[in-house]
Amino acid sequence: MKELSATAKAILGIVAMRPRTGYEIKAFVDNSTRFFWAASYGQIYPELKRLAENGLIEGTDEPTGGRRRTVYTITAAGKKRLREWHREPSADLEFRDEGMLKLFLAGAIEPASAPRIARERAEQARGTAARLREIESHAEGKDPSSYAVLTSGIAFHDFMADLFDKAARDLERGQTKRPTGAGAQERRN
């Protein structure tokens, strides 16, 4: 039995919260972890099968009328595996941000458009923060740690919005405080 991918662990963890079908897992991901951990049907269904084959979860047929339906429950082995994972060091966060990329390259493309790019990115962040607040208001994962993550997500996107607004203002004024000697040196680390 090979290493599990991080996505496999995410699915395993969600099943650990309470038994669910593949469809329910997708719905749960879409309105909770989506912003830091997404998953598609193309991953979920094959992964559920693999986890079941490895004895980490167990599927029970629970049809609703004539509609087939398999509910997965975590096993003792699955719980053990999750606790092990919890103790291992985590991978660095990875993110790709096309807005940042555009802003970074603005000088080589059209310097004058830099403030606009920054403003647009700020707007995007505000939108995301608003959607997270929406989720928070009828929050499902109500235990302390998942609530902490939700709150952090909101704070994070609020922060990004402020950051890009500030960058836009600086760029508009042409006051980007470039590293011209003293100023930049005194605060390294």
Partner DNA sequence: GCCTGCATGTAACGTGTTACATGATTTA
Partner DNA sequence: TAAATCATGTAACACGTTACATGCAGGC
Count of residues that bind a second copy according to CB under 8 A:
85
Q: How many CA atoms lie within 13 A of 12 on its CB side?
A: 25
Rg of the chain (C-alpha set): 22
For residue 98, give both structure tokens: 């096309």
**Least spacing, CB of residue 167 vs a second copy, in Å:** 5
CB nearer to a second copy: pick between 64 and 185: 185
Which of 2, 67, 83, 181 is close enough to bind a second copy by CB under 8 A? 83
1 binds a second copy (CB under 8 A): no
Whose Cβ is closer to DNA: residue 46's or residue 111's?
A: 46
Instruction: Give the CA distances from residue 35 to residues 17, 116, 130, 149, in Å, rounded to whole numbers and listed in that order.
Output: 19, 25, 13, 10
Cβ neighbours, 10 Å, residue 7: 15
Distance spanning both ends of the chain, measured CA to CA: 44
| DSSP-assigned beta bridge partners for residue 64 | 67
Please give the residue ranges that form the binding site for DNA (CB under 7 A). Answer: 5-7, 21-24, 27, 38-43, 45-46, 48-49, 64-70, 96
31, interface contact from DNA, a second copy, none, CB < 5-8 Å by kind? none
- Please say which residue, 69 or 119, places its beta carbon nearer to DNA: 69
Tokens 């470039």 identify what position? 178
Find the part of the chain contacting a second copy (CB under 8 A) among 20-28, 47-55, 59-67, 156-164. 156-164
Smallest gap from Cβ 155 to DNA, in A, equals: 24
Place of tokens 């496999």: 8
Residues 23-52 that bind a second copy (CB under 8 A): 32-33, 35-38
DSSP 112: G
Q: Residue 68 binds what, of a second copy, DNA, none (CB under 5 to 8 Å, by partner type)?
A: DNA
